[in-house]
Chains A and B, each alone.
Chain A
Amino acid sequence: MAANVKFYCDSERCIECNACVTACKNENEVPWGINRRRVVTVKDGEPGERSLSVACMHCTDAPCAAVCPVDCFYTTDNGIVLHDKDICIGCGYCSYACPFGAPQFPTSGAFSSRGKMDKCTFCAGGPEETGSVDEYKKYGANRLAEGKLPLCAEMCATKALLAGDANTVSDIYRKRVISRSMSTLASSGAIQQNGFNPDFSGKVTK
């Protein structure tokens, strides 16, 4: 059977360089305002700061598909959640349900209401004929058909963002965890907390 593909972002490696974001723009020519992928940083500027690159996670039990009023989502043999823009009505329900904020909506029409939903396709195109102009226009690149993985992961600066067969992703991650020494993990937070943010307000410290 076909393999099941997944994304995984290693927060110990992600440095919020946003390469994944621009790689996606590059590969799919996504317009200004639509971001199929984004990097979210928690505890920004504080000890424990970590970033994660987020896009459609191609959920096994996808909430978007469950709430879609027109049932425009489908899951490929590889476990990629795609949708059909010809059926999509731009209601926005998928964006209410999605845990990851993946669905994006171009504004369209006189009232700047929602257009057809757009989201990460795992660089696997869409329901149009593979490699066709229509497919590229509506869904972006179909790298999978060319034997390539999503460009965001391929271009990740620190290889924090992994994409591909779920087993292989897990293997890589497991190896990384093993090679990361416990002492490194244990010490980092504590040392940073100490003496973080001294005060240089011009007061004379004696």
Chain B
Amino acid sequence: MKLTKKSNRVIDHAPNQVIDSSLIDKAGTAKKAAGEAMSRRQFLRGSSLMAGGAALATAFTPGMMKKAEAAGSTTGDIKRVKTVCTHCSVGCGVIAEVQNGVWTGQEPALDHPFNKGAHCAKGASIREHGHGERRLKYPTKLVDGKWKKVSWDQAINEIGDKLLSIRKESGPDSVYWLGSAKHNNEQAYLFRKMAGMWGTNNVDHQARICHSTTVAGVANTWGYGAMTNSYNDIHNSKSILLIGSNPSEAHPVSMLHIMKAKEENNAPIVVIDPRFTRTAAHADHFLQIRPGTDVPIIWGMLYHIFKNGWEDKGFIRQRVYGMEEVMQEVAKWDPAEVERVTGVKEHRVKAAAKAMADNRPGTFIWCMGGTQHTVGNNNTRAYCTFQLALGNMGVSGGGANIFRGHDNVQGATDLGVLANTLPGYYGLSAGSWKHWSRVWDLDYDWVKGQFDDGSYEKKGDKDVHVMNTKGMPVSRWIDGVLEDKDNIAQKDNIKAMFFWGHAPNSQTRGTEQKKAMEKLDMMVVVDPYPTASAVMQDRKDGVYLLPAATQLETYGSCTASNRSFQWRSKVMDPLFESLPDHTIMYKLAKKVGIADQMFKNIKVENDEPHIEDILREINRGMWTIGYTGQSPERLKKQQENWGDFDFTSLKAEGGQCDGEFYGLPWPCWGTPEMKHPGTPNLYDGSKSVADGGLTFRARFGVERNGTNLLAEGFHSVGSEIKDGYPEFKADMLKKLGWWDDLTDEEKTAAEGKNWKTDLSGGIQRVAIKHGCAPFGNAKARVNVWTFPDPIPIHREPLYTSRRDLVEKYPTYEDRKSFWRLPTRYGSIQAQDFSKEYPMILSSFRLVEYEGGGDESRSNPWLAELQQDMFVEINPRDANNAGIRDGNMVWIATPEGAKIKVKAMVTRRVAAGVVSAPYHFAGHMQGEDLRSKYPKGSDPFVLGEALNTAMTYGYDSVTQMQESKVSLCNITKA
């Protein structure tokens, strides 16, 4: 105990000007004092913190110990690393302070154009990654039911040998490559390339179960399947509609932008959701729908819009195809029927519709609540139709602002980590493979030869080569393992699975998933954490856990939800024995003998492929969506100067990136040398294409049944063609007399090619030079004639409690082979489960956790805030079942699974509906699996995975899983 007097008791060293002026203004900027007091922090954070007595200080976290041990010496410069949060698609800037390789401090990036220093609970605690105490620490293998440490070489050798033997016996399609939205762009691209060169289309990632119905629905409406505007552009919105979206928990920093519009534009906020979410708490209109009735509520709103003539007739005439057919469908949804189906009263629907009609432009935001349904593609197209009807598309402040989930799910989707396409949405046609073979500088026949030589399906009478056949989607890999071999459209069942950055608890049908895992010959988990895959099965061997580095331990580019690229710098070296994903891919490719081809034009050093080279290869091939202008150099320059970009327009004013939009949002047309600024808002005709303007894409032909599909009387600013036009091809340039604008080299490359396949970028350059969009200028279509329901219609969920509606709104018929698998619809809906399972079961997410939660539940700063898996239950249902707040309850679902969770009695959910978060794992049907984790790598918080109990149901276009509506019963445990 010290008895000496302390030094001064007054904080007289805080400079007055800071206190007086550094307050965060409404836009969220804070001025910093000139000259950061680095020396202090240097001394403090880096010095040996355990030195000195002070037994009276607060207890220390392990992290602090680590910091102290790792820092070692008391000196060493503090490095400020600009990087990007890895938790969601908002793409918040992070400033990491690193000393002697240890991440010692995190500062808000107050000048970052997306977040102005703001973070949610996850972003504000991201430095905990520097501690990583619960990480998977070294390659681990399951031997006789026990985890055993192995070397990287041994692991890669054993895995590779097994892969090759499976390939020999069952063919390349029996290995499933489950990739990740947590990869950066370069890794995602490499992953897709690796699967292709292994010779399979059985590759997919979480986008399948997150926004695949959005991508399909939206791309088929107006051309591209992405968020059309940006988070920042919401500042210009006069009204905001959110359906199945709860940004207060899922994208909290986006609320910074939404609140700005609400406060400064007096923009009404309409929230449509089965739950009274934390976002709904701040809304002006809240429409509480029955889960799974998105189309009826949207049609119900459009009913009032059309009835009162509030639609934008001029916009529809010029830029929309098929609205009359929608009007016919909408006419069926009178207020009484809407109320009967959705539960929402007429005046509320009308008030919300009027709020949107009166306050234009309005933005339309949706997320998983809309996409994860058997009719997900109908929902997303209904949303698009709503915006088209109000003329809210292609305008700043409007748009379909689809908030993506993972930090790089947009990038991983764009880069084709999908069973149905190559990078850049080129699809799987022979032409696409040839395009990419050219980009890869490989012989097309060699690539083709990697695939199984047979055919699984016919187009007309002709056999389709396996290479051109869609693979199994990640949502269905379970069935690829368990389904009888004769029922699946490929040579053999899936025998080996890679879970390369995937949480199994984000997928429905957990009990069947467990069975599938146990049936596999081999499963390989590549992840910074063991994930639930390591513990949910009862295997005794054949499981490998390979420690991957986090994105903060490597570098590369990532694409935020608004299509902006950001360069994410490496904060620290990989912890423990973990390796970056691309290094692991290289080791594996080398082992299975495809490394020479795969890395033909990519430099590899110490087994680590050169990230910049990979991005340059992406730039050379991704013409469809304009991933071509974002060279590593341009991205790095933007990163250095991110403070120069405007908070609302995202445009740099002055400085080194003058005129560019932040992140060169795709499409960033042409080559990097062309210096296209990126496209901040898609389809915005008020700018010239060279300045980021666009038209709707001419993707669906030029006419249908005699009706013109091209835009009429509309073009983007500066276009030399003053009407609609199709996509650009070499021949079209010649016809227009613009061929000679190409250089000689470009002419050689462009001959016989189109804007998507011309590797010189000349066609795009010349089209843009004349003010035209390379992809044409067409109408958006609200009739997608290639889909099961060309005009979106309502169909009751497979598991519905409203038996009275099944007859009028039946689901689809069962399909025999759909993405290689039999898929059930009607046969499930035909059974009435509602007597035994009367409650509707839905799901939601929590701000503290992300996805399957292995990462965030291993972060003590987050885990402390959500310690129990719970289910929300209305007081009425709770009383009926004799359940009190905090009781343990069993949730049982019709397919036989049951989970034990804590009850939270709340009015957040309506009577008849229960809802639970899906981030938990580590318990299985009441059993705690903590002891099964490799020692020291169990997350702080475990809980029952909701998806253990979630049931069957897949979208009719994309195989999106139905994880938002099922039935259950709930009893006190």
Q: For window 56-91 of chain A, which residues contact chain B by CB distance below 8 Å?
A: 74, 76-78, 80, 82, 84-86
Please measure, in the bound complex, the distance between the C-alpha atom of A196 and the C-alpha atom of B14, giving whole angstroms.
Answer: 50
B840 touching A200, Cβ below 8 Å: yes
B834 adjacent to chain A (CB < 8 Å): yes
B860 touching A32, Cβ below 8 Å: yes
Contacts of B332 in A (CB 8 A): none
Q: Which of B51-59, B152-160, B364-372, B415-423 contacts A (4 or more CB under 8 A)?
A: B51-59
Q: For window 165-181 of chain A, which residues contact chain B by CB distance below 8 Å?
A: 165, 167-169, 171-172, 175-176, 179-181
A106 touching B119, Cβ below 8 Å: no
Known A136-B49, A149-B22, A151-B108; judge A15-B912 contact (CB<8 A). Answer: no
B20 touching A3, Cβ below 8 Å: yes
A136 touching B264, Cβ below 8 Å: no
Q: For window 19-59 of chain B, which residues contact chain A by CB distance below 8 Å?
A: 19-26, 28, 30, 32-33, 35-37, 40-41, 43-45, 47-49, 51-52, 54, 56-59
Please measure, in the bound complex, the distance between the C-alpha atom of A104 and the C-alpha atom of B448, giving whole angstroms.
Answer: 66
A16 touching B906, Cβ below 8 Å: no
* 8 Å CB contact of B6 from A20, A34, A84, A205: A84
User: Chain A's nearest CB lies how many Å from the CB of B757?
Assistant: 43
User: Chain A's nearest CB lies how many Å from the CB of B875?
Assistant: 9
B18 touching A147, Cβ below 8 Å: yes
B910 touching A198, Cβ below 8 Å: yes
Known A133-B51, A204-B802; judge A18-B847 contact (CB<8 A). Answer: yes
B894 adjacent to chain A (CB < 8 Å): no
B816 adjacent to chain A (CB < 8 Å): no
User: Chain B's nearest CB lies how many Å from the CB of A168?
Assistant: 4
B252 touching A19, Cβ below 8 Å: yes
B910 touching A133, Cβ below 8 Å: no
A76 touching B10, Cβ below 8 Å: yes
A78 touching B19, Cβ below 8 Å: yes
Please measure, in the bound complex, the distance between the C-alpha atom of A74 and the C-alpha atom of B19, giving whole angstroms.
Answer: 19
B36 touching A137, Cβ below 8 Å: no
Known A49-B278, A188-B283; judge A180-B834 contact (CB<8 A). Answer: no
Residue of B nearest to A135 (CB): B44
A155 adjacent to chain B (CB < 8 Å): yes
Count A-B pairs with CB separation below 8 Å.
Answer: 336
Q: For window 148-198 of chain A, which residues contact chain B by CB distance below 8 Å?
A: 148-149, 151, 153-159, 162-165, 167-169, 171-172, 175-176, 179-181, 183-184, 187-188, 191-192, 194-198
B30 touching A149, Cβ below 8 Å: yes
A2 touching B16, Cβ below 8 Å: yes
Q: For window 756-805 of chain B, which residues contact chain A by CB distance below 8 Å?
A: 801-802, 804
User: Chain B's nearest CB lies how many Å from the CB of A9?
Assistant: 13
A2 touching B30, Cβ below 8 Å: no
Contacts of B45 in A (CB 8 A): 136
Please measure, in the bound complex, the distance between the C-alpha atom of A165 and the C-alpha atom of B49, giving whole angstroms.
Answer: 32
Known A26-B106, A197-B874, A201-B877; judge A154-B20 contact (CB<8 A). Answer: no
B56 touching A199, Cβ below 8 Å: no
A191 touching B286, Cβ below 8 Å: yes
A197 touching B907, Cβ below 8 Å: yes
Contacts of B125 in A (CB 8 A): 22-23, 25-26
A184 touching B123, Cβ below 8 Å: no
Query: How would you classify the secondary structure of chain A's contact residues: helix, strand, loop or mixed?
Result: loop
Please measure, in the bound complex, the distance between the C-alpha atom of A49 and the C-alpha atom of B60, giving whole angstroms.
Answer: 36
A145 adjacent to chain B (CB < 8 Å): yes
Please measure, in the bound complex, the distance between the C-alpha atom of A12 and the C-alpha atom of B263, giving whole angstroms.
Answer: 10
* 8 Å CB contact of B52 from A33, A134, A188: A134
A172 touching B26, Cβ below 8 Å: yes
Q: Which of B216-224, B343-351, B533-541, B895-903 contacts A (4 or more CB under 8 A)?
A: B343-351
Query: How would you classify the secondary structure of chain B's contact residues: helix, strand, loop or mixed?
Result: loop
Known A21-B865, A133-B44, A138-B56; judge A46-B907 contact (CB<8 A). Answer: yes
B582 adjacent to chain A (CB < 8 Å): no
Total residues of chain B contacting the partner, CB 8 A: 120
Max chain B Cβ within 10 angstroms of own Cβ: one of A12, A18, A168? A18
Contacts of A176 in B (CB 8 A): 26, 263
User: Chain B's nearest CB lies how many Å from the CB of A38?
Assistant: 9
Residue of A nearest to B800 (CB): A202
Please measure, in the bound complex, the distance between the C-alpha atom of A136 and the C-alpha atom of B105, giving whole angstroms.
Answer: 13
A17 touching B248, Cβ below 8 Å: yes
* 8 Å CB contact of B64 from A17, A29, A124: A29
B44 touching A136, Cβ below 8 Å: yes
B911 touching A200, Cβ below 8 Å: yes
B118 adjacent to chain A (CB < 8 Å): yes
Known A151-B108, A172-B25; judge A137-B18 contact (CB<8 A). Answer: no
A200 touching B24, Cβ below 8 Å: no
B22 touching A164, Cβ below 8 Å: yes
Q: For window 12-53 of chain A, which residues contact chain B by CB distance below 8 Å?
A: 12-13, 15-23, 25-27, 29-35, 44-51
Contacts of A172 in B (CB 8 A): 23-26
A154 touching B108, Cβ below 8 Å: yes
A145 touching B911, Cβ below 8 Å: no
Known A86-B2, A137-B58; judge A158-B256 contact (CB<8 A). Answer: yes
Contacts of A129 in B (CB 8 A): 7
B10 touching A77, Cβ below 8 Å: yes
Can you report 10 A-B residue pairs in the complex whose CB atoms are below 8 A from each other?
Answer: A49-B281, A115-B59, A133-B49, A138-B54, A144-B11, A145-B37, A146-B41, A147-B35, A159-B116, A202-B838
Per CB-CB distance, the 6 closest pairs between chain A and chain B, nearest first, are A147-B33, A45-B908, A200-B912, A201-B912, A22-B125, A146-B37
Interface residues of B (CB under 8 A from A): 1-2, 6-7, 9-16, 18-26, 28, 30, 32-33, 35-37, 40-41, 43-45, 47-49, 51-52, 54, 56-61, 63-64, 106-108, 110, 116-125, 127-128, 248-249, 252-253, 255-256, 259, 262-264, 266, 268, 276, 278-286, 288, 290-291, 339-340, 343-345, 347-348, 351, 801-802, 804, 834, 838, 840, 847-848, 860-862, 864-865, 872, 874, 876-877, 906-908, 910-913
Q: A127-B7, A164-B23 are in contact. List 10 more A-B contacts (CB 8 A).
A: A25-B125, A47-B276, A128-B6, A137-B49, A145-B40, A149-B18, A187-B284, A194-B345, A197-B276, A201-B911
